Each structure stands twice: as structure tokens, then as C-alpha cells.
Amino acid sequence: MPVRSRVKTFTMDGQDVSGHESETILEIARQNDIDIPTLCQLDGLSIIGACRLCLVEVVGWNKLVPACATYVEEGMEVVTNSERLQNYRRMIIEMLFAEGNHVCSVCVSNGNCSLQYLATKLGMDYVRYPYLNPDRTVDMSHERFVMDHNRCILCTRCVRVCDEIEGAHTWDVEGRGYKSHLITDLDIPWGDSRTCTSCGKCMNVCPTGAIVEKGKPAGEMIKRREFLGYLTKMRGVNNNE
């Protein structure tokens, strides 16, 4: 019987790389300093493959695949940054800007926002799609934090960190489609939540200015995410098993 190889060799953007069969394209890309944009993915949280920014091409495959959720295979030729991919990524960011009410100049996270960073990096200079200007609310009821639904991109990082790491599951998503939005408990004001432990993990993993700390001035609203790697290691959590 032939011996099964657990290490796969393949190419990424023409570069020879290798990875263990339990590693994803995204992990190998990061090990090799190949930058693939991500938004919903965060080390330590479960993988959902929802933002579609990390889609890559694999030569000979007829569909684009999410780098975060695709394991490496022997001999695959991965293309991470073709013009087509760049276009799609820019369009997805445009869609997000058009969907919510994102006004960087008046946002406390200006300068410390993943959405803003990606827009700049992907060269999105303006939004061609009509702004949907949804009527969204700001929940100021919590004593320490603010939830501004105008700036929420529904990446569900807060939902996952609260459920998977904190174990409270205070957050979830109501409804579906473009009408869906985040809720605490039975869609009650955050400050009235029976389940929230006020740990602030949701605020720290939020990529935009949707969940922020009260009283922080713009420029100082910096999210700290080191705890995620530490906690997952200490608790031996593996959310993808």
C-alpha cells in the first residue's frame, strides 16, 4: 500500500509553497507573505466564508474558492491576485459601503477600521452603486459600549466571539437578507440584556466603528485582539472541528 503524504506541495502566484493537509490556502498564503484580504475571518473564531473577499482562483477549477475555508491540495495552482479577483473584491467593498451608512469623516474608528483600510488598499475611490441609505438605529443603552447599526457590515465576528469564546451568546442576527441586523437577546436594548457580561470582546473584534467604547475620541478607538489568540490557546478551543 502506498504511503499517504500529509504535506502538500503546490504553487501560489507562481511561487512554490508547501503546507500540511490540515492547513488552508489562507494560512499558507500568510506564512509566505502573500496578502489575501479578509473581513469575516479572524484567527480564533470559526470560519464561515461569508465576506467572499478571500476568494482565489485555482487553475482548472471552475469556481472561485474561499481561501479561508479551502484546504491545500497537492499540485494545485493558486492565483490570489488576478485582475478579475481585484475587481470582484473592489465591488464587494463598494457593496458594503452602499449598503450601510458609512461616513468615515465622522466615525470614531476613522483610521482604525478594516473596511476603510481595505477600501483604500483595493483602490476603491468612489462607490458606483446607489446608496441604499437604510434607516438604522444607534443603541447607546449599554453603560460602556455603543452599537451603531449604521456601521455594521454583518460579519458576525461579535456573534461568534460572544458565543464561542465568552460563551454568553448575547448577540445574534435577526431576519434575513438585506433586512437582517444584529440583536441582543430578544431584540432588546443592549443595556437591558440579561446575558451580556460586558466583557467587551465583541467591541474588540468588530472590524468597523459599529461596536465602540463610549467616550473614546477618534484616533484612540483602537481595537485590541491579542486576547483571542491567547484565550483559544489557553482553552484549547478549536472552532473548526
Partner 1 sequence: MTYYSGIEIEQGNVSRINEEIMSKYSVPLPSDDKRWRIVQGTMRRNGFRPDALIETLHTVQESFGFLDEEALLFVSDALNVAPSQVYGVATFYHFFQLKPAGDHVCSVCTGTACYIKGGRELLTHLREEYNVEPDETTPDGRLSMTTVRCIGACGLAPAVVIDGEVAGRLTTEMLSERLNAVLAEEEAAL
Partner 2 sequence: MTIYDTLQGMAETEHDRQAQFENEMWVCLASGCASQNADQLADRLADLVKEQELEEKVNVKCVGCMGLCATGPHVTVKPAGQHYSEVRPEDAEALVEAAKTGEPYEPLYEPEYSQFFDRQTRIVLENAGSVDPESLEDYLVHDGYKALNIALTEMSPDEIIQEITNSGLRGRGGGGYPTGLKWSTVAKAESDTKYVICNADEGDPGAFMDRSVLESDPYRILEGMTIAAFAVGASKGHIYVRAEYPLAIDRLNKAIRRAKRENLLGNEILGTPFNFSIEIRLGAGAFVCGEETALIASIEGKRGQPRPRPPYPADYGLWGEPTLINNVETLANIAPIIRNGSDWYASFGTESSKGTKVFALTGQVNNTGLIEVPMGITLREIVYDIGGGAPDGRAVKAVQTGGPSGGCIPEHMLDLPVDFESLREVGSMMGSGGMIVMDDTASMLEVARFFMEFSMTESCGKCIPCRVGTKQMYDLLGRIESGVGTYRDLQLLRELCDVTQHTSLCGLGQSAPNPVLSTLHFFEDEYLSLLTDVEAAAD
Binding residues vs partner 1 (CB under 8 A): 163, 168-176, 183-187, 194-195
Residue 67 interaction partner, one of partner 2, partner 1, none, beta carbon < 5-8 Å per kind? none
95 binds partner 2 (CB under 8 A): yes
The binder of 66, among partner 2, partner 1, none, by C-beta within 5 to 8 A per type, is: partner 2
> Which partner, partner 2, partner 1, none, binds residue 217 by CB below 5 to 8 Å per kind?
none
Residue 183 interacts, among partner 2, partner 1, none and using kind-specific CB cut-offs from 5 to 8 Å, with partner 1
Instruction: Return the residue of 11, 30, 81, 91 that touches partner 2, per CB under 8 A.
Output: 91
Interatomic CA distance for residues 15 and 8, integer angstroms: 14
- Under rule CB under 8 A, which residues in 197-216 are in contact with partner 2? none
91 binds, among partner 2, partner 1, none (CB under 5 to 8 A by kind): partner 2
What are the grid coordinates assigned to 81, written together? 491576485
Q: How far is the CB of 71 from partner 2 (least distance, A)?
A: 8
| Residue 88 interacting with partner 2 (CB under 8 A) | yes
Helix axes 83-99, 114-121, angle to 10 degrees: 140
Residue 186's binding partner, choosing from partner 2, partner 1, none, with beta-carbon cut-off 5 to 8 A by kind?
Answer: partner 1
Closest CA to 151 of 216, 212, 94: 212
Please name every residue paired with 19 in a beta bridge, in sequence order, or none if there are none: 8
From the CB of residue 96, how many other CB atoms can be counted at a distance below 10 Å?
A: 22
C-alpha cell at 66: 474561499
Between residues 24 and 170, which has the closer beta carbon with respect to partner 1? 170
SS (H, E, C) 23-72: CEHHHHHHHCCCCCCCCCCCCCCCCCCCCCCCEEEECCCCCCEEHHHCEC
Q: How far is CA 144 from CA 41, 148, 233, in A?
A: 26, 13, 28
- CB neighbour class for 91 (10 Å; exposed up to 12, middle 13-18, buried from 19): middle
Assess 50 for contact with partner 2 (CB under 8 A): yes
Residues 36, 125: Cα–Cα separation, whole Å: 20
Chosen residue from 43, 129, 186, 229 binding partner 2 by CB under 8 A: 129
In the list 13, 27, 77, 99, the residue contacting partner 2 (rule: CB under 8 A) is 99
Instruction: Provide the minimum distance between the beta carbon of 184 and partner 1 in the complex, in angstroms, as a whole number.
Output: 6
Does 27 help bind partner 2 (rule: CB under 8 A)? no
Q: 6, 20 in Cβ contact below 8 A?
A: yes
Summarize as ranges the residues that interact with partner 2 (CB under 8 A): 47-52, 55, 63-64, 66, 69-70, 87-88, 91-92, 95-96, 98-99, 128-130, 132, 153-154, 173, 175-180
